[in-house]
Amino acid sequence: MIHFVLLISRQGKVRLTKWYSPYSQKERNKVIRELSGVILTRGPKLCNFVEWRGYKVVYKRYASLYFCMCIDQDDNELEVLEIIHHYVEILDRYFGSVCELDLIFNFHKAYYILDELLIAGELQESSKKTVARLIAAQDALVETAKEQASSISNIIAQATK
């Protein structure tokens, strides 16, 4: 299974983290520091796998962003590479040629998309279209709610209650 997903920028800034195995806040910090040390220093055209603490970390660089997933020893590295690519494609489709800034400012969106893709460290949806549809539906749900909430009458009702 996938133990965690990390998105780290080339400068070592963390852009997204998702933990499927229990790690305390302290451990999370440590893991990220350790891994960015290992991964960011690796040159281009090297293989995308790093052995780390008995696990394997599969990473792939897209523009300035490193997508990393930590998996078990006997998991399939190529499959995970495909999952990463899959995720990137969905992000791309959602944001329209996604860039790092999109992810910075839409942190939660990237999160929700990941949640539709993986559950409990397993791939749950392999269809890009389906994920896009689900996310759009949920966005719509939020939008209608937001419209209601931001209407003036609502605010006044809130204020005077």
Partner 1 sequence: MAGSSLMETLFQRTLDDLIKGLRLSLIGEAPFISKAMDEIRREIKSTDHHTKAVALQKLSYLSSLHFYDMSFAAFHVVELLSSSRFSHKRIAYHCASLSFNDTTPVLVLITNQLRKDLSSTSEYEVSLALECLSRIATPDLATDLTPEIFTLLSSSKVFVRKKAIGVILRVFDKYPDAARVCFKRLVENLESSDPQIVSAAVGVFCELSSKDPRSYLPLAPEFYRILVDSKNNWVLIKLLKIFAKLVPLEPRLGKRVVEPICDLMRRTGAKSLVFECVRTVVTSFSDFESAVRLAVEKVREFLVDDDPNLKYLALQALLIVAPKHLWAVLENKEVVIKSLSDVDLNIKLESLRLVMAMVSETNVAEISRVLLNYALKSDPVFCNEILGSILSTCSRNVYEIIVDFDWYVMTLGEMSRIPHCQKGDEIERQLVDIGMRVKDVRPVLVRLGRDLLIDPSLLGNPFLHRILSAAAWVSGEYVEFSRNPLELMEALLQPRTNLLPPPIRAVYLQATFKVIIFCLHSYLVPPASQLVPERNRPEGSDLATSNASAQFEREEGFNPRVLNQSFDDISGDDSEEIGASGDQTTCLASLGTNVWTDESVMNLLNKVEMGVGPLSGSHDVEILERAQNLLCFIELIRQDIINCVSQKEESLLRDETEAYKIIKMMQDAFSNELGPVSVTTQERVPVPDGLELKENLEDLETILPAVQLTSSISFSPESPIQDETAAAPFPTIQNKEESEPSNESTFLLAEHRKRHGLYYLPSEKKDVPNDYPPANDPKSQGNAEDLVKLTEQSLVPKKKSNHEKPRPMVVKLDGDVVAIAAKPQRKDDSLSDAVREVLFRSDTKSSSSQLKPLDSSSSKSKGKEKVNVDTPESKEDLTIDKQDNQNQSSRKSKHQAHGKDRKHRSLRNAGDEMTENGQEGKKKSSHRRSRSKARQRTDAPPSVIPQTQELRVFMDGPPNLLPIQNPPNSNILDWVVLGGLIEFSDSASIVSNSSLQAQPFILLESPSPPPPLLPPPPPPPPPPPPPAELEVKPNILPYMTDSELFTPAIAAQSNGRSPHKRVPKVAFMFLSRGPIPLGPLWEMFFKGHEGLYTIYVHSHPSFVDSTPENSVFYKRRIPSEPVEWGTSTMIDAERRLLANALLDSSNERFVLLSESCTPLFNFTIAYNYLTNAHKSFTASFDDPRKSGRGRYNPNMSPTISISEWRKGSQWFEVSRKIALEIVSDTKYYPIFVEHCNPPCYMDEHYIPTLINIICPEENSNRSVTWVDWSKSGPHPGKFGRNDVSDEFLSKIRFGSNCTYNGNTTTSLCFLFARKFLPNTLEPLLQFSPLLLNSSVQL
Cβ atoms of 103 and 91 within 8 Å: the answer is yes
Candidate residues 12, 34, 64, 141; the one interacting with partner 1 per rule CB under 8 A? 141
Q: Does 43 bind partner 1 (CB under 8 A)?
A: yes
- Rounded to the nearest angstrom, the gap between the alpha carbon of residue 113 and the centroid of all alpha carbons in its chain is 8
| Selected range binding partner 1 among 23-31, 61-69, 87-95, rule: CB under 8 A | 23-31
Number of residues that bind partner 1 (CB under 8 A): 57
Max CA distance (Å), the chain: 63
Q: Does 157 bind partner 1 (CB under 8 A)?
A: no
Q: How many CB atoms lie within 10 A of CB 103?
A: 19
Q: Does 34 bind partner 1 (CB under 8 A)?
A: no
> In the chain, which residue ranges form alpha helices assigned H by DSSP?
25-40, 77-95, 100-105, 107-117, 128-150, 152-160
Cβ atoms of 86 and 126 within 8 Å: the answer is yes
Q: Does 45 bind partner 1 (CB under 8 A)?
A: yes
42, two tokens: 């690796």
Q: Which residues pair with 118 in a beta bridge?
A: 123
> What is the smallest separation between the CB atom of 145 and partner 1, expressed in angstroms?
5
144, two tokens: 């209608």
The site map against partner 1 for 69-108 (x = CB under 8 A) is: ---x-xxxxxx-xx---------------------xx-xx
Query: In the complex, which residues of this chain contact partner 1 (CB under 8 A)?
Result: 1, 14-17, 20, 22, 24-25, 28-29, 43, 45-51, 72, 74-79, 81-82, 104-105, 107-108, 111-112, 115, 119-120, 122-127, 130, 134, 137-138, 141-142, 145-146, 149, 155, 158-161
